[in-house]
Amino acid sequence: MDRIKISGGRPLNGTIPISGAKNAALPLMIASLLTSDQLTLKNVPNLADVNLLARILRNHGVDHSVDGKRAGPTPHLGETFHFTARDIVDTTAPYEMVSRMRASFWVLGPLLARMGETRVSLPGGCAIGTRPVDLHLMGLKALGAEIDIDGGYVMARAPNGLKGGRITFAKVSVGATHNVLMAACLAKGESVIENAACEPEVGDVAECLVKMGARIEGIGTPTLRIEGRDRLEGATHTVLPDRIETGTFAFAVAATGGDIVLEGARKPLVEAALAALERTGVSVTEVEGGIRVSRNGSAIEPIDRIETQPFPGFPTDLQAQLMALVTMARGTSTIRETIFENRFMHVQELARLGADIQLQGDTATVRGVKRLRGAQVMATDLRASVSLVIAALMAEGETTINRVYHLDRGFERLEAKLARCGAQIERVTG
Ligand code: EPU
């Protein structure tokens, strides 16, 4: 298993290109199941999750190629992918696949809508919480699906096709919104989704669906109106920039000091995170083609209270990174996690570097310390792992991060991007 070694204490200076968003690329790839025509996606990040999902989709019969060539092991940074689901050859998404990547559960709605039946493994829990799928199932039932659970699988049928329906989600769910939105595009008649997720990745998928011929109103708002169509067509779509990667590098430069331009980043996608960053005393400015983040000499100010919320609130996917930053603030910060019940696995690892964090229920109280010291730490999930990278960049001495495959799932060329800005970071393969 690969490890990453970081010697901390160096500022970051230069430019970092922001990749296409993982959490948009994955559902966009799944949207290819809705049409027998070709869906072309540009700016797809080269990530383990993208490659795994491409393999999963291939099982269903989705042919894919990269920039005119057959997909292969060659790196395809920010590449153009072509997906064609001319014939769906298998409507089952097996446990071995779905348990490795939760987002593959989102094939449920599209396969059901296109094929009238599907069998998709329940994904199970994960490192950040129990993560039930009741909202996905409720939404699809409202579109007329008959659903049973058998042997750990969701068995969904709609022999006469899905019908438009009205869905009001009790809780904001990104995945349930993707699933039901995609299914509703091929249902007969009008569907209305209330309390839909407003995350930019949902908007990006909806924009792509419109290019494929779907009729969707209210994109970017909590109420989506969908007029179902008999079929969708092929389209070409460019994946939007990754707001979580943007926020992560912004937090990293806040942590180390320095001056970085995040190329291709879009400020409206990360307002809440940047506002939090400004509260810590960091300067954030919009520049042509990106966002500039700098902290030169000033101390990191604590944040008295911040809580994660659905978009446009502070994202749960940046909670761990913010926590890493304020471990060295001059005072006490409190961070409340409201989206996932167990997203604090990084706390014990940050403590290994010398952080002073108390957990009480859903709230972490972080007392700023004068210094962190390098140690061996373990990555537990994607965002927790990158919080350890940020802490290691601040720490004195060397930190070794084990189990970095989590990072490879969601950060494209992380070491290269940081190293070219002055970080001392290397991957040890083995
Ligand atoms: N929830 C339910 N029932 C459901 C679905 C969700 O109770 O049927 C709950 C979840 O347990 C959670 C909350 O609703 O407490 C929000 O979950 P959501 O469904 O929005 O999460 P998700 O769609 O599974 C996506 C991202 C996550 C991100 C969350 C929240 C992708 C591939 N995943 O997950 O990203 O944290 O939205 O914004 O888009 C990551 O990239 O590291 C990651 C975990």
Give start and end residues of each alpha helix (H) in 143-231: 174-184, 200-211
With the most atoms of ligand 1 within 8 angstroms of its CB, the residue from 53, 107, 171 to mutate is: 171
**110 pLDDT higher than 90:** yes
With the most atoms of ligand 1 within 8 angstroms of its CB, the residue from 23, 107, 269, 362 to mutate is: 23
Give CA–CA dist 357/351, Å, rounded. 7
In percent, how much of the chain has pLDDT > 90?
90
**pLDDT the model gives residue 129:** 75
Which DSSP category does 381 fall into?
Answer: S
Determine the atom of ligand 1 nearest the C-alpha atom of 171. 14
Measured in angstroms, how far is the CA atom of residue 132 from the centroid of ligand 1? 9
Give CA–CA dist 83/44, Å, rounded. 12
Measured in angstroms, how far is the CA atom of residue 300 from the centroid of ligand 1? 30
Give CA–CA dist 177/192, Å, rounded. 11
Two tokens at 240?
Answer: 């939007």
Residues lining ligand 1, Cβ inside 6 A: 23, 26, 102-103, 129, 131-136, 171, 173-176, 316-317, 339-340, 382-383, 410
Average confidence (pLDDT) over 25-45:
97
**pLDDT the model gives residue 78:** 76
Give CA–CA dist 57/96, Å, rounded. 13
Per residue in 229-282, pLDDT (tens digit) is: 999 999 999 999 999 999 999 999 999 999 999 999 999 999 999 999 999 999
Give CA–CA dist 395/353, Å, rounded. 7
Give CA–CA dist 332/284, Å, rounded. 23
* Residue 75 · residue 45 · CB < 8 Å: no
Measured in angstroms, how far is the CA atom of residue 371 from the centroid of ligand 1? 34
Average confidence (pLDDT) over 126-131:
78
- Which residue puts its alpha carbon closest to atom 24 of ligand 1? 175
**pLDDT the model gives residue 77:** 60
Per residue in 217-230, pLDDT (tens digit) is: 999 999 999 999 99
Confirm whether 126 is a catalytic residue.
Answer: yes
Kind and range of the H or E run holding 166: strand 166-168
Average confidence (pLDDT) over 305-311:
97
**406 pLDDT higher than 70:** yes
- Which residue puts its alpha carbon closest to atom 37 of ligand 1? 174
What is the model's pTM? Answer: 0.97
Mean pLDDT (the chain) is 95
**74 pLDDT higher than 90:** no
Determine the atom of ligand 1 nearest the C-alpha atom of 199. 38
